[in-house]
Amino acid sequence: MPERTATMEHIDTTDRNILNGRPISPRREPHLGDDYLCQVGASLSCGACCGLYNVADVSRRTLERLLGDRTRRFGRVTRTIDGIMAFRREIETLENQNRPMPDFHHCPFLGFVGPSKETVGCMLHPLEPLNRGMDFRSLSHYGGMACHIYFCPATRLLPTRCKQIVRTVITDWYLYGLLVTEHRLLLAVFEEIEHRLNRQVFMDDFIHNAGAREALYNLFLLRVSWPFRRPGPLRLVNYFFNDHRHPRPDIPTAAEGQAIERYHAILKELETRTDSTEIVRQAELYLDDKLRLLQANLQS
């Protein structure tokens, strides 16, 4: 999974301390400032890299129920290795283990974290109050170093101004986690917006412009509600790693008289149906309406 590497000496030292029951001082996660995408605010966070959306039913209601149940159960767990591993076995027995992407790990330690329990995050983190400063993340599938050395491609590939806009416009974890890791989709959307305006866009374009915020939010919402998405088991699962295991199907070259090339990347990342040129044309026009509305609000 990680795109960066760490020395085995560091990993082994961390793991030995955990397994010997020694508390580890809560280490600051890498501070990326305006580029940080993981834990953003009181209700805004992303658990996509831990396989949050790799479940049989990825609806908001189902995930809220699943994460809430885990959070309550883990709150009663004795913070020992045996207690934590027993919790893992319990969750894997209770929950549906049919994964749309069997090779993409879904972590059973994802739950609601923080003072108000409104953000998705790691229940093994040392800053979770019931953990009393102990870092139990070495008991997870990827080990304790994953949070320190891995960041999704969006962190590196999206311009800072685009990341700031996403964090400004989206206000809840469900859509945020589905979208912020989709760097190809976001790059294509922002490229189209800036092509229309003939300039770059920044967070200030949206902070004081409610119409533009709403129009961009509705554009982002297509990640969940795209009416032209191809049928299939994967649906909303977002696999954003760069190992090319689950590429998105390409969009065929436009037929004569159609002008879909400009939206090619967006339509591809939204997994648009391609079983008829008429459907593709409808998808193009539908997307065009959303973009025109955003453009009008930004130019008002």
Q: Do residue 121 and residue 176 come from a single domain?
A: no
Per-residue pLDDT of the chain (300 residues; tens, 9 = 90+): 433 333 223 333 333 333 333 333 333 344 456 688 988 888 899 999 999 999 999 999 999 999 999 999 999 999 999 999 999 999 999 999 999 899 999 999 999 998 888 899 999 999 899 999 999 998 988 776 667 777 889 999 999 999 999 999 999 999 999 999 999 999 999 999 999 999 999 999 999 999 999 999 999 999 999 999 988 755 788 888 878 788 888 877 654 445 567 899 999 999 999 888 888 889 999 999 999 999 999 998
- pTM of the shown model: 0.84
pLDDT for residue 225: 94
Q: Is residue 8 part of a domain?
A: no
pLDDT for residue 239: 81
Cα gap 7→24, rounded to integer Å: 18
pLDDT for residue 254: 56
Please, what is the angle between helix 160-169 and helix 173-180, to 10°? Answer: 160
Q: Do residue 133 and residue 164 come from a single domain?
A: no
Tell me the one-letter amino acid at 52: L
pLDDT for residue 22: 36
Number of H helices and E strands in the chain, helices first, is 13, 2
Cα gap 203→213, rounded to integer Å: 10
Q: Do residue 144 and residue 170 come from a single domain?
A: no
pLDDT for residue 159: 95
Q: Is residue 82 part of a domain?
A: yes
Q: Do residue 146 and residue 161 come from a single domain?
A: no
Neighbouring C-alpha atoms within 13 Å toward the C-beta of 220? 28
pLDDT for residue 260: 62
Cα gap 36→167, rounded to integer Å: 10
Q: Is residue 138 part of a domain?
A: yes
Cα gap 197→188, rounded to integer Å: 14
CA distances from 250 to 159, 236, 271 (A): 25, 17, 8
Q: Is residue 79 part of a domain?
A: yes
Last residue of a domain, one of 151, 171, 203: 151
Q: Do residue 123 and residue 173 come from a single domain?
A: no
Residues 6+ away with beta carbon under 8 Å from 69: none
Last residue of a domain, one of 151, 181, 212: 151
Q: Do residue 142 and residue 172 come from a single domain?
A: no
Residues 6+ away with beta carbon under 8 Å from 184: 265, 269
Q: Hey, what's the torsion of the CAs at 79, 85, 89, 92, to 10 degrees?
A: 80
Q: Do residue 59 and residue 136 come from a single domain?
A: yes
Instruction: Determine how many CB atoms are found less than 10 A away from the CB of residue 229.
Output: 18
pLDDT for residue 220: 98
Q: Which domain holds residue 79?
A: 47-151
Cα gap 300→295, rounded to integer Å: 9
